[in-house]
Every structure is written in structure tokens, then in C-alpha cells.
Amino acid sequence: MPAGAETTYDVVVLGGGSGGYACALRAAGLGLSVALVEKAKLGGTCLHQGCIPTKALLHAAEVADTAREGSRFGVKTTFESIDMSGVNRYKDGVVARLHKGLQGLVSAATIDYVEGEGRLVAPDTVSVGERRLTGRHVVLATGSFPRTLPGLTIGGRIMTSEQALTLDHVPARVIVLGGGVIGVEFASVFRSFGSEVTVVEALPRLVAAEDEGASKQLERAFRKRKIVVRAGVRFSGATQLGDVVTVTLEGGETLEADLLLVAVGRGPVTEGLGYDEVGVAMERGFVTTDARLQTSVPGVYAVGDIVPGLQLAHRGFAQGIFVAEDIAGLQPAPIDETGIPRVTYCDPEIASVGLTEAQAREKFADVETYEYNLGGNGKSQILQTAGFVKLVREKDGPVVGVHMVGARMGEQIGEAQLIVGWEGFPADVASLVHAHPTQNEALGEAHLALAGKPLHAHA
């Protein structure tokens, strides 16, 4: 393509992360002509700096714990040490294979993949260097970046998840600033790798967006793992001197560590990209959309982390697919955000879908809950994990929330999501036979109990 050339497509997607590439793939699959603009690596945050590398680290952490704890199962094992170059080789290998696979999918889909930094220069045009890509529709999918706090400069021993993913050693002492999903996942990894870990969270509890019961169970499990949790405590500043980072809390208390991980949330990548100039409405930097993900500018859509709501890869995939189908005229049903499943992959895992108990109590006059303790679940006892399955329903109505805590419970989210998404009643689920002994059985047993016929349920 000569410099300065102008090409017209059905869809121009700006950003090749989860939301952008899903949109491009679905649009191409529907026979639309598509350009996908990406300035860094196809796959975006999720593949290169998010979901995949962190879950590889969490798996290495589980292997370390298994080696350390073999004697609990009568197996003589010893844990020697973590070889970060080996861990990174494994993690990077997983990412590289998936990246290659994704590149293959995009090229097979005959998407015009344009490398470079794009900018919205008109409601129907993205410029990349000298090129102008014109689209009947433009989809903004530029993702998010790790935030920091005022006065807290990232560098040296103060880092975000991005730098923490490339560490070549295990720090002896880590302070994690922020007890949200990313913070607790890294706290879990570092602890399993042998670091002393303190989590500092300004809100009164860890993973504050989750059901309060799940937060309490996680804090209990973290304390058992000797992760120090300082919730309801505000950070006031941090300094680096030599090999030590000193964190000062409001009230003057100081904590020392070898590494400070800043995990205080992610902001939208929307500044300086022409969105403002073209008239795309925004709120605190996020692009606001209607339920069909259309921005205030006709023909311009937005998907993924730049749209206010859950910052999750599968939400981005779903939004990308939705927009492609909408553009193709398939009239898809809008995505119900409360039905989007959430998994936090620390040890123990938290998996949830639908309303928390507090949210249900705000919405309904009468709410019923049931907590099934994994103590009664054979497979969880075999795995030696503690936790629960908590169901939330409107009194005499369908189940509107499922909250699970325990090792590997993330794998149970699929059925939970169907129950909430299909507005299942406890009796509907109770009539389905769940395989024994599985952790999935705990979901079945919770519904049996809520339907009034408990089996292995301890009061």
C-alpha cells in the first residue's frame, strides 16, 4: 500500500486486544471487509500482560505449593527453589504459542492487519502514519493501562503488573498496594514463590466488588498462608533508598519491602487519540456507549476496557462479537452485564456470577441465601481445600447470584453462569444429577439444600 493511500472498509477496528480482534474475526467471518490496527502486539493486554501470563505464574505457584506440601498427602517431596528464568521460559512459551495461533487466525480470516499507532481523525477514518483507513463503521478498542496514585512514580523497585511479569528473581519482601483482583493474584503468586507478602487496601476488605462472604473467606485463607492483609488502611507515600522501598501509611506507620507492586486499577487508553476532537462522548476518560455499544458519534462503536464496566477479556470478546453482528445487521440481543462471570485466580480461587447478597437485598424485598460448605464435598476434601458455594435468590424466585470460594472453583463457573443466565430455580438444578466425587457436585448440593432436600450439608 503506497504511503498516503486511502482504503475503504466495512469496519475499521482500532486496537488488536481481546475486544478488537474478536470484533475483527467475527466481522470477517460474516463477510465484511475489515482493517485491524495495532501498535504493539496482536492479542493486547490479556495475551501479553494480563490473563495468560498471570495464570501461567499462578500455575507455577501451584506446582511450588504442591512440591512443598507433598507430605500432607503422604508423598515425600521437597521444595528447593524457584528458578525465575525457568518460570519465565514456561510463561513466555505459552504466550508465544497462543500469539502465533492468533496471528494465524487473523491472517486466515483475510483481515487487513495494519501495524502502527492509529488515530481517529474523522468519524469514519483512522490514520496510521501516512495511511488513512476509512470505514463504514469504526470500532474503538484501545484498552487500558495500569494506573498509579498521585505522587507515586513507577520505576526501580516500585512497579505495576507489567514490570512484575518480567522479574528475574523472587523478592524476599513484597508490598502489594491494592487488594483487587490483580493485587490478590500477584500476592498469591509471590507467597507461593516464597516472598513475605503484605497487601495494603484502602477499602475495608479485599476484592471489594465480590460478595462480602467471599472476601472474608479469602482473607481467612490468606492469613493461613501468612499473607498479611492490611485492609481499611490508606497509603500515603513511598520512597526508595538503596535496595529498600519504604511505604508510609496514613497515620505515619511505615512498612519496608524489596518491591512495591502498585495494583490500584486500570485506566482507559483514550487520551490523544482524536476521540475528543471527533466528538466521542467520554466520562472520566472512558468512552460512554448505549446498550448497542454505539458511541455518541453515529457509526463509531466502542468495546472492551475503554467502556465503563467490568474490565475482563471475555466481556471484550463478547462485546467485539456483538458489534460485528450488529454492523452485519444480525440484530443481536444486547449483552447482560450482570450475567458476565468473574473469576479471581488466587489460591483459593473466587468465582462468581450475578448479584451479591447486598445487591440482591437492594433490588428485592425478600432475599434468601444458602451457603454450602466445601467441608461436605468429597473432592474438595481430597484436594484439602476450604471454601463454599453461596447461592442468592429472590425469595421463592430464581437464583440471581452464585459465589464460590475454594481451590479450582473457577472451573465451576460455567454451570453457575447457566443457572443465573437462564434464571434457574433451585428445584430445576436439584433435579440434575451431578457427578460424584467432583467439586461440581458442591453446586448441585447447594441447590438440593436450597430446594429443601439437603444431602451432604452440615447445618
Ligand X SMILES: Cc1cc2nc3c(=O)[nH]c(=O)nc-3n(C[C@H](O)[C@H](O)[C@H](O)COP(=O)(O)OP(=O)(O)OC[C@H]3O[C@@H](n4cnc5c(N)ncnc54)[C@H](O)[C@@H]3O)c2cc1C
- Which residues are part of the catalytic machinery? 436
Choices 41-49, 357-365, 402-410, 415-423 (CB under 6 A): range interacting with ligand X: 41-49
At closest approach, how far in Å is the CB of 249 from ligand X?
A: 24
Site string for ligand X, 10-39 (x = CB under 6 A): ----xxxxxxx----------------xxx
At closest approach, how far in Å is the CB of 456 from ligand X?
A: 31
Choices 47-55, 89-97, 350-358, 367-375 (CB under 6 A): range interacting with ligand X: 47-55
Dihedral, 278, 284, 290, 295 alpha carbons, nearest 10: 10
182 contributes a contact to ligand X by CB under 6 A: yes
At closest approach, how far in Å is the CB of 263 from ligand X?
A: 8
At closest approach, how far in Å is the CB of 236 from ligand X?
A: 25
Nearer to ligand X, 142 or 195 (CB): 142
127 contributes a contact to ligand X by CB under 6 A: no
How would you class 73 by CB atoms within 10 Å of its CB: exposed for 0-12, middle for 13-18, buried for 19 or more? exposed
Scan for cell 497509603, then name that residue: 235
Q: Judged by CB under 6 A, which of 113, 118, 131, 439 binds ligand X?
A: 118
44 contributes a contact to ligand X by CB under 6 A: yes
Dihedral, 47, 49, 55, 57 alpha carbons, nearest 10: 130
User: Which of these, 303, 342, 299, lies nearest to 321 by C-alpha position?
Assistant: 303
Site string for ligand X, 261-290 (x = CB under 6 A): --------x---x-----------------
Q: Judged by CB under 6 A, which of 316, 341, 354, 426 binds ligand X?
A: 316
Choices 137-145, 168-176, 212-220, 230-238 (CB under 6 A): range interacting with ligand X: 137-145
Choices 247-255, 312-320, 374-382, 419-427 (CB under 6 A): range interacting with ligand X: 312-320
At closest approach, how far in Å is the CB of 341 from ligand X?
A: 9
Of residues 184 through 243, those in contact with ligand X by CB under 6 A are none
Dihedral, 9, 15, 17, 18 alpha carbons, nearest 10: -50
Angstrom distance (rounded) from CA 73 to CA 455: 27
444 contributes a contact to ligand X by CB under 6 A: no
304 contributes a contact to ligand X by CB under 6 A: yes
The CA–CA distances, whole Å, from 280 to 12, 105, 165 equal 16, 31, 34
What are the residues binding ligand X (CB under 6 A)? 14-20, 37-40, 44-46, 49-51, 54-55, 117-118, 141-144, 161, 182, 269, 273, 304-305, 311-314, 316, 345
